[in-house]
């Protein structure tokens, strides 16, 4: 069994446990009663310039590839710094076992700033979409590699109906074509291979070439220098998601500014 297979099994088990604790109806009622939304893709479009893509700044305490980054990190403090630095949106890891996250981090980060927030998790069940919407997420990550066509379409449709933007993540041309074929126009291309968690720079630039101009592309993983972010923009990415490099930066506001090309 691969590491990814093990992670997905754990996530399904934790979702089953969550269903026993809180019925989906409770999340459904909260999600449907919610009135305030922040437009995730509009924020990215507004922040993008001809020379620099928008920055999605990520909050995470640890990861399987990096290990512990900052287990004591406070999502509200980090989110406020990211916003001051000029981030267009936030990504918040909510997977608990490998990333030490939760939806409480989404709530805290969103309350501390005016940016739209992506709930980044391994979503394998509609319950998680209802839960994310109820928890204040403005967008959810749907990973094509771990979802069959029926489930991916269903989760995409549910998120869209709840006015929560679905960001469909792909890793190669076949997944990108598949995502575009059923209606995804906000597509994240991850340079990191999920099976091994190693990064292959250039994946996002290569896959972007197979997508029509109408797609808004988010490049993900492995961005550590402002020059790499700018190069990704020239290769077709409208936004770049930056995680570990920002979380390790002692001055997160300054780090975002530098990634945006400011001096």
Confirm whether 91 is a catalytic residue: no
16 contact partners, CB below 8 Å, separation of at least 6: none
Q: Which of 83, 120, 232, 252 is catalytic?
A: 120
214 contact partners, CB below 8 Å, separation of at least 6: 185
Confirm whether 262 is a catalytic residue: no
Q: Which of 169, 191, 244, 252 is catalytic?
A: 169
CA–CA distances in Å: residue 123 to residues 126, 150, 159, 199, 248: 8, 14, 12, 22, 26
HSE-CB of 3 using CA atoms within 13 angstroms: 11
Q: At 33, list the tokens.
A: 């009663």
Confirm whether 220 is a catalytic residue: yes
Distance CA 95, CA 111 (A): 20
Query: Where does residue 192 rank: exposed (0-12), middle (13-18), buried (19+ CB within 10 A)?
Result: middle
Confirm whether 190 is a catalytic residue: yes
Confirm whether 150 is a catalytic residue: no
Q: Which of 63, 91, 175, 190 is catalytic?
A: 190
Secondary structure tally for the chain: helices H, strands E:
13, 10
Confirm whether 120 is a catalytic residue: yes
**Which of 11, 166, 25 has its CA nearest to residue 95?**
11
Q: Which of 58, 83, 95, 244 is catalytic?
A: 58
* SS3 of 167-197: EEEECCHHHHHHHHHCCCCEEEEECECCCCC
Q: Which of 191, 221, 232, 244 is catalytic?
A: 221
Query: Where does residue 7 rank: exposed (0-12), middle (13-18), buried (19+ CB within 10 A)?
Result: middle
Confirm whether 95 is a catalytic residue: no
Q: Which of 83, 220, 232, 252 is catalytic?
A: 220
Q: Report, as residue numbers or ranges, the catalytic residues.
A: 58, 60, 120, 169, 190, 220-221
């Amino acid at each position: 069994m691969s590491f990814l297979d093990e992670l997905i099994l754990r996530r399904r088990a934790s979702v089953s446990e969550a269903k026993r604790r809180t019925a989906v109806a409770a999340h459904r009622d909260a999600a449907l009663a919610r009135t305030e939304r922040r437009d995730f893709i509009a924020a990215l479009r507004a922040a993008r310039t001809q020379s620099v893509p928008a920055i999605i700044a990520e909050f995470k305490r640890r990861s399987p590839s990096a290990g512990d980054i900052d287990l004591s990190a406070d999502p509200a403090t980090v989110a406020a710094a990211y916003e001051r630095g000029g981030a267009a949106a936030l990504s918040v890891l909510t997977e608990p076992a490998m990333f030490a996250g939760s939806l409480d981090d989404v709530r805290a980060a969103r309350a501390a700033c005016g940016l739209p927030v992506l709930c980044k998790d391994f979503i394998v069940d509609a319950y998680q979409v209802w839960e994310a919407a109820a928890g204040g997420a403005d967008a959810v990550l749907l990973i094509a590699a771990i979802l069959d066509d029926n489930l991916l379409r269903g989760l995409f449709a549910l998120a869209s109906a709840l006015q929560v933007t679905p960001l469909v993540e792909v890793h190669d041309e076949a997944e990108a074509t598949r995502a575009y074929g059923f209606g995804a126009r906000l597509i994240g291309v991850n340079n990191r291979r999920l099976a091994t968690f190693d990064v292959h720079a250039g994946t996002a630039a290569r896959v972007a070439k197979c997508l029509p101009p109408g797609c808004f592309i988010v490049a993900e993983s492995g961005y550590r220098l402002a020059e790499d972010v700018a190069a990704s923009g020239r290769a077709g990415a409208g936004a770049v998601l930056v995680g570990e490099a920002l979380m390790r930066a002692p001055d997160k506001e300054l780090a975002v500014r530098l990634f945006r090309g400011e001096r």
